[in-house]
Amino acid sequence: MPRIFGTDGVRGLANGHLTAELALDLSVAAARVLADRGEFEGHRPLAVVGRDTRISGQFLEHAVVAGLASAGVDVLRLRVLPTPAVAYLTQALGADLGVVISASHNPMPDNGIKFLARGGLKLDDAVEREIEQHLDEPWDRPVGGDVGRVTPYDAPVEEYVEHLLSTIDKPLSGLKVVLDCAHGAAYEAGPAALRAAGAEVIAIGVDPDGLNINDGCGSTHLGPLQAAVLEHGADAGFALDGDADRCLAVDHEGVAVDGDQIMAILAVGMAERGHLAKNTVVATVMSNLGFVQAMKASGIGVRQTKVGDRYVLEAMRVSGYSLGGEQSGHVIMSEHATTGDGVLTALHVLERMAVTGQSLQQLAAVVSRLPQVLVNVPDVDKSRADDDPVVAAAVAEEEAALGDSGRVLLRPSGTENLVRVMVEAGTEDEARAVAGRLADVVERQLAL
């Protein structure tokens, strides 16, 4: 059967692809699969359910809760809460299942459903496949006292904030920070955590109306954050996305600080304290070569994976690494979280500023980013991108010319019929020239 789960749960147009009926069926199937695998053995199963601020999350939440309860699972409703907070409470409350209703950084009309296993970890691909295979199947429904109970959970925001504060040692007093919550799931928890840590906080993007999530704000639109940092004379600014699992920053001059620079700041600090497992950070192949060079200069290794935070998480879990992430702002600190956590990231960057007495700009300068150019080549046979000998020869020739001062990456899109050509070089002009030549070869050789 066709796949329903993508790289980050089930996602699509709410009430279009992602209907209440599908949400209910997915929840029933998830409960049945976990029961068949023995996950509920010897106890009443428990699930926690949280969502972001999208208006569609209201009906999808009720559908998910109804499906779980009808399958005999007790449910704690966490209401609006960041994805990493749902993951934390899944673990802290000993729940058998966590469910997040969110489309993260996607526009408001979209929504998504993501299931978390016991411990707050993402479900394995094999389990997701089983869930797909059990959709719409007839089953013996529980009756009487065997149906699930549904209960609102009293203090999810407060418990999550308390957890975040327990991860830092130095107060943030004296630091003024702007936090853009994207009118999303962290609109309460984000400012509360930074204020409780001692920072002076100017919060923007904290007036969700169900329609304005990610709308010209947050980590996908840094303009409002940059303007607010300059207006208020803040030391730094941080931008979250709709479900607050990613974080980007700007320094006191409004200059953007990306995920590579954030990871470098944290990696250096963790290495100094002996908290960087195996003295290695996990990043994807899209991380800037300047980041890799900076880590090498600091005596820190870099393990690179395919693009996607699930691949970063997998490498961290398998090999026991404690820090990983993406240029886009997904930063995973496995000592404190099982997923990317934007508020946690902001707290630890600010703590590093407090400990060192350095500005964010000074800390971010550890990475000298190489100019990076990305060209999308549409309407080509992306399946041949890795095998065509002419394309391979062109890439090898350009890589040889760049030497250690740059690199080339050709990557077929996972969702669109195109090939991405990414080039880093000593100057932007050089990067554009190389990318242009390679794009021409790809277009000519892989034409449909």
Q: Give backbone dihedrals phi and psi of 117, rounded to 5 degrees, phi first.
A: -80, 175
Burial profile 322-343: b = 16 or more Cβ within 10 angstroms, e = fewer: bbbbbbbbbbbbbebbbbbbbb
Reference 38, options 127, 148, 151; nearest CA is 127
Q: Is the Cβ–Cβ distance between 75 and 24 less than 8 Å?
A: no
CA distance 147 to 142: 6
Q: Give backbone dihedrals phi and psi of 261, rounded to 5 degrees, phi first.
A: -65, -40
Beta-carbon contacts of residue 113 (< 8 Å; ≥ 6 apart): 9, 10, 11, 18, 23, 26, 60, 64, 99, 100, 101
Q: Quickly list H helices, 273-324.
A: 289-297, 309-319
CA distance 199 to 354: 10
The single residue of 27, 56, 104, 287 carrying the catalytic annotation is: 104
Classify 19 as helix, strand or coil. Answer: coil
CA distance 315 to 272: 23
* CA 213 distance to own-chain centroid: 16
CA distance 90 to 113: 15
Classify 386 as helix, strand or coil. Answer: coil
Beta-carbon contacts of residue 53 (< 8 Å; ≥ 6 apart): 80, 183, 184, 185, 187, 208, 210, 213, 242
Rg of the Cα atoms in the chain: 23
* CA 182 distance to own-chain centroid: 14
CA distance 233 to 89: 36
CA distance 184 to 186: 6
Whether 173 is catalytic is no
Reference 334, options 15, 87, 33, 66; nearest CA is 87
Look-up of token digits 């730094």: 236
Q: Is the Cβ–Cβ distance between 8 and 114 less than 8 Å?
A: yes
Active site residues per annotation: 104
